[in-house]
């Protein structure tokens, strides 16, 4: 099969022919149809979290495909099922990671990868869905949609009428806005460097937009919140200075939730005093999503016209174009989620 391989940090991915192993206990062989591109892949490529000891390795953690074969012990899916591939653990066996080979030597992979035409996936990293859903749409449910909505519904426990600000309106941030709009949050403030992304944020429910290049960003946002700060502030970028701003504009009883992860050499500086009196600051782990429960529920909302998913797809591209697409995402040109559609 063809796969995009990370061969060195801060270098283009290499498209190569990789040998696919047969599925073993708890593993499922999936023909990947579509893969989303998450900012976390850019972090892996750039070394944002430091040295990567597993190079060379495969990438990608949100996708959709069709089951080809299941290994011993697998009960969750069968051949012919369309499945969402996700990095969050669901029900089923947490199997050993697969052993791929490339150029006669091992190439590493985690429990799920999606920048490849076929994937051997741990049973607990997939969720069966109906064949009547577009695989590009299904792929978004592997991370962007579930994480964004999960931050709102689970981490923030947002209530109708409460206020929310989100920093960064890429795949996750856009779904934070969409989730807040479903709950009639107000105001919903979207912050980004790119006006074209802020325009899309309005279509997904943002009531106010602020370009992050504006001076006194915290002051502008405090004014939007009516002076009291936001009930919930979400950082979906992973920039230390934005995290500090998100914390600064959180109300005294509010929650600052971190979805983005800063560079491993960056440190944040905050006034911890408000934490003793009700303010909370914590990191999100995929929105505390339960894939086997939440993905079918979100699909039903989508089918009923309550969730915008098609509108999030910022283009479908072949695997051969992955480096160009990654650069497009890195520059911030894409509005929504870029999708790699396998042949």
The mean pLDDT value of the chain amounts to 96
User: Does residue 341 surpass a pLDDT of 90?
Assistant: yes
Same domain? 74 vs 194:
no
pLDDT of residue 335: 84
Residue 299 in any domain: the answer is no
- CATH code of the domain in which 321 resides: 3.90.180.10
Q: What angle do CA 60, 284, 152 make, to 5 degrees?
A: 105
Encode pLDDT of 250-280 as tens digits: 999 999 999 999 999 999 999 999 999 999 9
pLDDT of residue 163: 98
Backbone torsions φ then ψ of 338, nearest 5 degrees: -80, 140
- CATH code of the domain in which 176 resides: 3.40.50.720
Same domain? 18 vs 117:
yes
User: Does residue 191 surpass a pLDDT of 90?
Assistant: yes
Encode pLDDT of 27-85 as tens digits: 999 999 999 999 999 999 999 989 999 999 999 999 999 999 999 999 999 999 999 99
Same domain? 263 vs 332:
no
Same domain? 283 vs 203:
yes
Same domain? 109 vs 88:
yes
d(CA 256, CA 223): 18
Confidence of residue 238 (pLDDT cuts 50, 70, 90): very high
Q: Cα 86 vs. chain centroid, distance in angstroms?
A: 10
Range of the domain at 193: 148-287
pLDDT of residue 284: 97
**Which among 91, 33, 86 has a CA at the least distance from the CA of 62?**
86
In the chain, how many domains are there? 2
Residue 294 in any domain: the answer is no
Same domain? 7 vs 81:
yes
Same domain? 133 vs 153:
no
Confidence of residue 343 (pLDDT cuts 50, 70, 90): confident
Same domain? 280 vs 317:
no
Encode pLDDT of 110-149 as tens digits: 999 999 999 999 999 999 998 899 999 999 999 999 999 9
Encode pLDDT of 213-236 as tens digits: 988 999 999 999 999 999 999 999
Confidence of residue 333 (pLDDT cuts 50, 70, 90): confident
pLDDT of residue 214: 84
Same domain? 72 vs 198:
no
Same domain? 154 vs 246:
yes
| Encoded tokens for 104 | 């006669």
Residue 102 in any domain: the answer is yes
User: Does residue 196 surpass a pLDDT of 90?
Assistant: yes
Percent of the chain past pLDDT 90, that is, above it, reads: 97
pLDDT of residue 110: 96
Q: What predicted TM-score, i.e. pTM, was given to this entire model?
A: 0.96
Residue 295 in any domain: the answer is no
Confidence of residue 334 (pLDDT cuts 50, 70, 90): confident
């Amino acid at each position: 099969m063809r796969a995009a391989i990370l061969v060195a940090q801060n270098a283009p991915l290499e498209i190569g022919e990789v040998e696919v192993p047969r599925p073993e206990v708890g593993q499922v062989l999936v023909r990947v149809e579509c893969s989303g591109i998450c900012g976390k892949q850019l972090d892996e490529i750039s070394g944002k979290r430091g040295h990567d000891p597993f190079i060379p390795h495969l990438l990608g953690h949100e996708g959709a495909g069709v089951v080809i074969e299941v290994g011993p012990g697998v009960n969750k899916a069968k051949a012919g099922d369309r499945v969402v591939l996700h990095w969050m653990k669901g029900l089923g066996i947490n199997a050993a990671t697969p052993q791929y080979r490339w150029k006669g030597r091992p190439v590493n992979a985690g429990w799920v990868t999606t920048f490849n035409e076929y994937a051997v996936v741990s049973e607990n990293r997939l969720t069966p869905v109906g064949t009547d859903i577009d695989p590009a749409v299904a792929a978004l449910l592997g991370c962007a949609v579930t994480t964004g909505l999960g931050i709102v519904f689970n981490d923030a426990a947002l209530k109708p009428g409460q206020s929310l600000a989100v920093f960064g309106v890429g795949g996750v941030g856009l779904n934070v806005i969409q989730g807040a709009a479903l709950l009639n949050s107000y105001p919903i403030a979207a912050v980004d460097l790119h006006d074209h992304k802020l325009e899309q944020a309005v279509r997904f429910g943002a009531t106010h937009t602020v370009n992050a290049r504006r001076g006194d960003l915290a002051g502008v946002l405090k004014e939007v919140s009516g002076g009291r700060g936001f009930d919930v502030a979400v950082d979906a970028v992973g920039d230390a200075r934005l995290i500090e701003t998100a914390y600064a504009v959180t109300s005294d009883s509010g929650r600052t939730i971190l979805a983005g992860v800063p560079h491993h050499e960056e440190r944040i500086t905050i006034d911890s005093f408000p934490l003793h009196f009700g303010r909370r600051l914590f990191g999100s782990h995929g929105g505390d999503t339960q894939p086997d429960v939440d993905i079918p529920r979100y699909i039903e909302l989508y089918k009923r016209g309550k969730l915008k998913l098609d509108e999030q797809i910022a283009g479908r591209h072949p695997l051969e174009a992955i480096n160009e697409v990654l650069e497009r995402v890195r520059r911030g040109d894409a509005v929504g989620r870029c999708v790699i559609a396998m042949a």
